[in-house]
Structure 1
Amino acid sequence: MSLEAIAGVAHEPPGTPTGAVVLTHGAGGSRDAPMLVRVCDEWARRGFLAVRFNLPYRRRRPKGPPSGSAAADQAGVVEAVDLVRGMLADVPVLAGGHSYGGRMTSMAVADGLAVDVLTLFSYPLHPPGKPERLRTQHLPDIAVPTVFTHGTSDPFGTIDELRSAAALLAGPSAVVEVTGARHDLGSKTLDVPALAVDAALSFLA
């Protein structure tokens, strides 16, 4: 089955996939964001088919911020998960993304999209410098296990704010702290993809 419809790129494991993970990008990025590539490589090493894809607004134009409706981007997440789920039968499917992409995925899951684990990188809790504008209204509607991988210097939310948000979820959650990292989750000392994958796999065990 072709991934062209979602502008997707597959990272295939050496053998038969034991599961699948579907990830998308932040507001200014694309499926080719270096962090997404590294995380998908890590999932493939662990035996999963990992797919990184472009949200609908990014398929329309190669650069720039999200355009159109958030509902359309959430529908794009559903389309991607359904497509990948159709490629593999009876395996766990995880979904998530970086920043805006993670938020769109979490909103799709809150609205009924079925996944086994939600994996969110640098969840944008609020705009930088505006902690009163929380983006948490839908979180109580999420019952699936959720992993938040977050830098301790992320201007879109502190670790304490993130833990408070995670407590709103109806299901279990884990917070992977990346010491010193900002919104891009860059770290010279920690293997961020490995930590995030470990946390997600612990929910599947």
Structure 2
Amino acid sequence: MRETDNVETAVGVARIDVDRPDGPETAMLVLGHGAGGGVDAPDLIALRDAGVAAGLLVVRVTQPYRVAGRRAPAPAGHLDRAWVAVLTRLRSRASAELPVLVGGRSSGARVACRTAGTVGAAGIVALAFPTHPPGRPERSRVGELATGLPTLVVNGDRDPFGVPESTAAPVRIVVRPGERHDLRRDPSGTAVVVVDWLRSHGWAR
């Protein structure tokens, strides 16, 4: 079952696309999009489909700047505030016992990491995490992954935004051969990696 709704935030109107499984919900997975893209990116769609089939309530969040028709991303503070507002709304409508997982691709993964503690997330799924700007490895963003929460990072080995190096648990890094930043070569394979990880934590059936 699919539904779409708008959420008022302090920085504009966000949109949520909600997909529910046929049976009992095992967890809620909330996903954000990349800086210049949308929630219809191939990896997000593949993860939505695989997640719903595995019992997850999957919510894809479109940031206010994209709802307003702008491609240039909003400042990080605006992204984080909108995300927290959406998660607050979603949590108020869900069972208190339902685990909440956050994530997304690229910029959306960074937002999820920065706000995971604030929204009370149980875990994080980071697709195409932009380790650094292209050609600027000295500007590392890896520190954003250090949330203390179980985290899965899935990057392509040809990603110009870099690939995080192996880190200690609870962060797991999976590098997909032949994939670039868009993870378009095998989105269903990426979704399988994520769902297997979710199952290992009891968040998917």
Equivalent pair of 2:156/2:177 in contact (CA under 8 Å): yes
Structure 1 residues 84 and 189: alpha-carbon distance in aligned structure 2, compared to 1, 3 A threshold: closer
Aligned length: 194
Q: Is 1:186 matched with 2:153?
A: no
- Indicate the residue corresponding to 1:97 in structure 2: 104
Within 5 Å, which residues of 2 pair with 1:62-77?
63-67=70-74, 69-77=75-83
Which whole-Å CA distance do the structure 1 matches of 2:201 and 2:137 have between them?
30
- Maintained 8 Å contact 1:22/1:84: no
Does structure 2 conserve the Cα–Cα contact (< 8 Å) formed by 1:95 and 1:118? yes
Question: For residue 8 of structure 1, what is the aligned residue in structure 2?
Answer: 16
Instruction: Please tell me whether the aligned partners of residues 21 and 56 of structure 2 are also in contact (alpha carbons under 8 angstroms).
Output: yes
Kept in 2: contact 1:96–1:105 (CA 8 A): yes
Q: Residue in 2 aligned with 1:163?
A: 165
Tell me whether 1:125 sits opposite 2:131 in the alignment.
Answer: yes
Question: Helix, strand or coil for the counterpart of 1:7?
Answer: strand
Task: Give structure 1 stretches of 5+ with no counterpart.
Answer: none
Whether contact under 8 Å (1:26, 1:97) holds in the other structure is yes
Residue 71 of structure 1 aligns with an amino acid whose one-letter code is G
Higher relative contact order, structure no. (Cα contacts within 8 Å, ≥ 6 residues apart): 2
Letter in 2 for 1:177: V
Whether the 8 Å CA contact 2:65–2:71 is kept in 1: the answer is no
Answer whether contact 2:46 2:188 (CA < 8 A) is retained.
no
Compared with structure 1, are the counterparts of its residues 88 and 189 closer, same or farther at alpha carbon in structure 2 (3 Å cutoff)? Answer: closer
Normalized against structure 1, the TM-score is what?
0.86
% identical aligned pairs: 32
Deviation at 1:101, TM superposition (A): 0.8
TM-superposition CA deviations, 1:66-116 (whole Å, max 9, x none)? 03x211101122122222222221111111010011111111125x33101
- Map 1:31-180 → 2, pairs under 5 A: 31-61=39-69, 63-67=70-74, 69-89=75-95, 90-109=97-116, 112-140=118-146, 142-158=147-163, 162-164=164-166, 166-167=167-168, 172-180=170-178
Change (3 A) 1:175 1:116: same
SS of the residue 2:165 aligns to: helix
Higher strand share: 2
Residues 37-86 of structure 1 show CA distances to partners (whole Å, capped at 9, x for unaligned) of: 1111111000111010111221222x41203x211101122122222222
| Gapped regions of structure 2 (runs ≥ 5) | 8-13
Distance, in Å, in 1 between the alignment partners of 2:33 and 2:187 is: 23
3-state SS, counterpart of residue 191 of structure 1: helix
Separation in 2 of the partners of 1:97 and 1:186?
Answer: 15
**Is 2:29–2:102's contact at 8 Å kept on the other side of the alignment?**
yes
Deviations 1:147-168 (A, max 9, x none): 001111111113xxx125x44x
Contact between 1:176 and 1:196, CA under 8 Å: does it hold in 2?
Answer: no
Q: For 2:90 and 2:31, how far apart are their aligned partners in 1? A: 11
Is the CA contact (8 Å cut-off) linking 1:8 and 1:31 kept in structure 2? no
